[in-house]
Chain A
Amino acid sequence: MREELIISGRMNASIDPQLTIWAWEIPLYLFLGGLAAGILFFAGLYTILGKEKEFPSAIEKTPMVVPFLLVIGLLALFADLNHKMYFWRLYTTIRLESPMSWGAWVLMVVTPVSFIWAAIHLKKSFPKWKWPYAWLDTTEAFFISHKKILAWIMVIYSLILGIYTGILFSAFNARPLWNTSILGPLFLTSGLSTGAALNIIMAKSQKERHSFSKIDLMLIGIELFLIIHIFMGFLASTQVQIDAANLFLGGPYTAPFWILVVFFGMILPGILEFLELRNYKIPVLIPALLVIAGGLLFRFIWTFAGQASRWLY
């Protein structure tokens, strides 16, 4: 059999024998960013639609966690930087060609907006809350009167936040597993799905919970379609992308991805949510937590597998 044997004298740390430049920090951030995007999207959307009465938890309660998610995510991003003291360089330039640059700027908008949104709903969750200074009360009143504008900013920027992480990966043609334009929509759908799942947990009324179960079921369906679509695309593409797909079709990521992410993170919670909608007694915490754990694992697997996929020459 004709064989090609490649021996390289290079042994740079984090590069060889396999790229490992991005460890746990990046997938954790991708997950938290997606989850935050999902929560903000639903809160903004139902505010714009004037459905405050039907979706009180999604608008007032769940967004309370977003500032925490984003701060932890930003700390993870900061932890990933190797030249930390120069992080501010991100904000001395706007580079439209670099998804990481516009991601940094989107976070600059989304993070303060999420804090404002949580602050103006603080009294709904903590009725005894009082702002220590009078000017904070006037600021709160100002933002409450401009809630719809905030909601619009949230909807638009959460969609960008949700999709840019996928676009960031898909822009790397050096990593064939990531180099697919399906990844943006897939990460966005996954983020919305984890956001919907958290809303299922937080919802007080059965009506709101069931609404999010239906939304989540639809999102899981879209995710499964996009995953099949991604692999169809890879298998019909060049050898490097066929090799990338094979990491998941017999390769080392086959079992974790198809069993843990696809079955336990999508199909099983989908079935459980469906049965719960049909009035079977199923604690909704189970499918919701499965979806969230699946979303987290998906980011980890895709980050690591992507770094294992490469061009060989």
Chain B
Amino acid sequence: MRYAMAVDTKKCVGCSDCVVACQTENNVPIGYCRDWIVEVVDGTYPQLELELRSERCNHCDNAPCVRCCPTGASHILEGGFVMVTPEKCIGCGACITSCPYDARYPHPDGYVDKCTFCMHRVKKGQLPACVATCPTKCMYFGDLDDPTSAVSMVLKTRKHKTLIPEAGTKPQLYFLI
């Protein structure tokens, strides 16, 4: 089992509904976010290209945050969820420093917080809050080992990329381009 997410950059309109859905679902402290929108404008006027991406933790296969954690608070669960156990986290900041995507943040309560791929929802057979909310249905979630899952199907047919694969993290958040 290997959960992954794909975001269609051609369908995303950058409305930030996913951000608000996550903040509500996961009780994210005010002023912080576990997912966010990035707008990239590329080119020379008037030949400009705009890419909109809904970004979050990449739930990497080779997660540097898990490797550098001195207490084992950062760990990977069956299915590839990269998680933090608050009762084991000392708040040293090593994982925050180790993430090339800067996907983690220090929770005001002291421990380190991040996207969980809404594991609590996925375990119940639901989609992550961001995916379920998206008004343009630009996000796909599912098991990569299941060839009929939404994410497997869309990755089979669409050209896609991951963010800085050269960082060696084997990210599992795909962007359809």
Which residue numbers of A lie inside 8 Å of B, CB to CB? Answer: 1-16, 19, 21-22, 80-84, 86-87, 89-90, 92-93, 95, 97-101, 103-104, 168, 171-175, 238, 307, 310-311, 313
The answer on a CB contact under 8 Å between B93 and A22 is yes
7 further A-B pairs in the complex, CB-CB below 8 A; given A2-B43, A4-B40, A86-B91: A9-B36, A22-B93, A22-B97, A82-B91, A83-B109, A98-B70, A307-B97
A82 touches B67 (CB 8 A): no
Contact A92:B71 (CB < 8 A) given known A13-B105, A87-B90 = yes
10 CB-based A-B contacts, threshold 8 Å: A10-B33, A12-B31, A21-B106, A82-B92, A83-B109, A83-B111, A89-B71, A101-B70, A168-B94, A174-B99
Q: Are B93 and A82 in contact (CB under 8 A)?
A: yes
Docked CA distance A83–B90 (Å):
5
Q: Which residues of chain B come closer than 8 Å to A16, judged between CB atoms?
A: 102
Cβ of B111: which chain A residues have Cβ within 8 Å of it? 82-83, 86
Q: Please, which residues of chain B bring their CB within 8 A of the CB of A89?
A: 71, 73, 88-90
In the complex, chain A residues whose CB is within 8 Å of the CB of B89: 83, 86, 89
B122 within 8 A of A: no
Q: Contact between A101 and B71 (Cβ–Cβ < 8 Å)?
A: yes
State the CA gap A100–B64 with chains docked (Å): 13
Q: How far is the CB of B162 from chain A (nearest CB, A)?
A: 10
Interface residues of B in 11-67 (CB under 8 A from A): 16, 19, 31-33, 36-44, 55, 64, 67
User: CB of B167 within 8 A of chain A?
Assistant: yes
Report yes or no: A97 in contact with B110, Cβ–Cβ below 8 A: no
Which of chain A's residues have a CB closer than 8 A to the CB of B71? Answer: 86, 89-90, 92-93, 95, 101
Q: Summarize A's interface: helix, strand, loop or mixed.
A: loop
The chain B residue with its CB closest to the CB of A87 is B90
Asked if B68 and A171 make an inter-chain contact with CB atoms under 8 angstroms apart, the answer reads yes
**A81 neighbours in B (Cβ, 8 Å):** 90-92, 110
Contacts of A173 in B (CB 8 A): 64, 98, 100, 167-168
Q: Is the CB of B93 within 8 A of A21?
A: yes
State in angstroms the CA–CA spacing of A22 and B97 once bound together: 9
- Answer whether residue B153 sits at the interface, using C-beta atoms and an 8 A cutoff: no
Contacts of B97 in A (CB 8 A): 19, 21-22, 172, 174-175, 307
Tell whether, in the assembled complex, residue A98 and residue B94 are in contact, meaning their CB atoms are under 8 Å apart: yes
Cα A307 to Cα B98 in complex, Å, equals: 10
Expressed in whole angstroms, the minimum distance between the Cβ of B22 and any Cβ of chain A is 12
Chain B contact residues, majority secondary structure: loop
Closest to A5 in B: B41
Assess the A100–B92 pair: CB atoms within 8 A.
yes
Given the known A-B contacts A86-B87, A95-B69, are A310 and B32 also in contact in the complex, defined by CB atoms under 8 Å? Answer: no
Partner of A313 from B67, B93, B164 at Cβ < 8 Å: B164
Residues of A within 8 A of B93 (CB): 21-22, 80, 82
Q: How far is the CA of A3 from the CA of B49 in the complex (A)?
A: 10
Residues of B within 8 A of A98 (CB): 67-70, 94
B91 touches A100 (CB 8 A): no
Q: Which residues of B contact A7 (CB under 8 A)?
A: 38-41
Chain A residue nearest to B87 in the complex (CB): A86
CA distance A95 to B86 in the complex (A): 18
Q: Is the CB of A90 within 8 A of B90?
A: yes
Contact of A100 among B42, B68, B110, B167 (CB under 8 A): B68
| CB proximity of A224 to chain B, nearest CB, Å | 28
Partner of A13, one of B32, B43, B55, B168: B32
Contacts of B39 on A, CB cut-off 8 Å? 6-8
B96 interfacial by beta-carbon distance below 8 Å: yes
User: Residue A9 contacts which of B37, B87, B109 (CB distance < 8 angstroms)?
Assistant: B37
Interface flag for B135 (CB, 8 Å): no
- Nearest B residue to A105 via CB reads B70
Best-buried of B31, B87, B106, B168 by chain A (most CB within 10 Å): B106
Q: How far is the CA of A174 from the CA of B166 in the complex (A)?
A: 11
> Which residue in A80, A82, A90, A174 is a CB contact (below 8 Å) of B70?
A90
- Report which of B38, B67, B73, B104 forms a contact with A8, defined as CB distance below 8 A: B38
A10 to B92, CA, bound (A): 22
Partner among A1, A13, A15, A99 whose Cβ is within 8 Å of the Cβ of B44? A1
Contact of B167 among A4, A14, A311 (CB under 8 A): A311
Interchain CB contact under 8 A, A311 and B90: no
Across the interface, A6 reaches (CB within 8 A) one of B19, B40, B64, B90, namely B40
Interface centre among B70, B88, B106 (most CB of A within 10 A): B70
